[in-house]
Amino acid sequence: MYKNTAILTISSILFLSSCDKNNNDNTIINEFPTQTVVINNPIIDHLFTADPAGLVHNETVYIYTGHDEQVYGTNGFLMKDWHIFSSKNMVDWKDHGAAMSVSTFSWAKADAWAGQCVEKAGRFYWYVPMAHKTIGWFGIGVAVSDTPTGPFVDAKGAALITDKTPNSIELNIDPTVFVDDDGKAYLYWGGWGYCRMVKLKENMIELDGDVVDVPGLSGFTEAPWLHKKKGIYYLSYASGFPEKISYATSSSPLGPWTYKGVVNDLVKNSPTNHQSIIEFKNQAYFIYHNGGLYSGGEFRRSVCIDSLFYNLDGTIKQVKQTTKGVGKVL
- pLDDT digit string (tens) for 233-266? 999 999 999 999 999 999 999 999 999 999 999 9
What pLDDT was estimated at residue 4? 53
| Distance between CA atoms of residues 325 and 323, nearest Å | 5
- Does residue 313 form part of some domain? no
Q: 43 and 297 in contact (C-beta within 8 Å)?
A: no
Q: What integer pLDDT is reported at residue 330 of this predicted model?
A: 38
User: What is the identity of the amino acid at 153?
Assistant: V
Q: In sequence order, what are the beta bridge partners of 251?
A: none
pLDDT of residue 13: 32
Residue 11 has a pLDDT of 35
Instruction: Evaluate the CA torsion angle 223, 228, 229, 235 in order and state its sign.
Output: positive
Domain count, the chain: 1
Sheet of strand 220-229: strand arrangement: 220-229, 232-239, 244-250, 258-264
User: What is the CA angle 43-111-120, rounded to 5?
Assistant: 65
Least-confidence region, from 125-129, 145-149, 168-172, 307-311: 168-172
C-beta of residue 141 within 8 angstroms of C-beta of residue 130: yes
The answer to whether position 314 is within a domain reads no
The yes-or-no verdict on residue 268 having pLDDT over 90 is yes
Q: How does 261-294 read in b/e, with b if 16+ C-beta sit within 10 Å?
A: ebbbebbbebebbbbbbbebeeeebbbbbbbbbe
- For 50, counting Cβ atoms within 10 Å of its Cβ (0-12 exposed, 13-18 middle, 19+ buried), the class is buried
CATH of the domain at 162: 2.115.10.20
The reply to whether 262 falls in a domain is yes
Does residue 29 sit within a domain? no
Is 72 inside any structural domain? yes
Query: What pLDDT, on a 0 to 100 scale, did the predictor assign at position 169?
Result: 82
Q: Is residue 237 part of a domain?
A: yes
pLDDT digits (tens, 9 = 90+) for 194-231: 999 999 999 999 999 999 999 999 999 999 999 999 99
Least reliable range by pLDDT among 8-17, 214-223, 278-287, 296-305: 8-17
Q: Which of 245, 216, 249 has its CA nearest to residue 233?
A: 249
Q: Give the domain extent around 283.
A: 46-308
For residue 218, the one-letter residue type is S
pLDDT at residue 170, rounded to an integer: 82
Does 235 reside within a domain?
A: yes
pLDDT in tens, 180-203: 999 999 999 999 999 999 999 999
32 within a domain of the structure (yes/no): no
pLDDT value, residue 35: 53
pLDDT mean over 146-168: 97
Strand partners of residue 199: 186
Provide the pLDDT for residue 329.
43
| Per-residue pLDDT, 145 | 98
**102 phi/psi in degrees, rounded to 5:** -55, -35
Instruction: Examine the pLDDT at 51 and tell me if it is beyond 80.
Output: yes
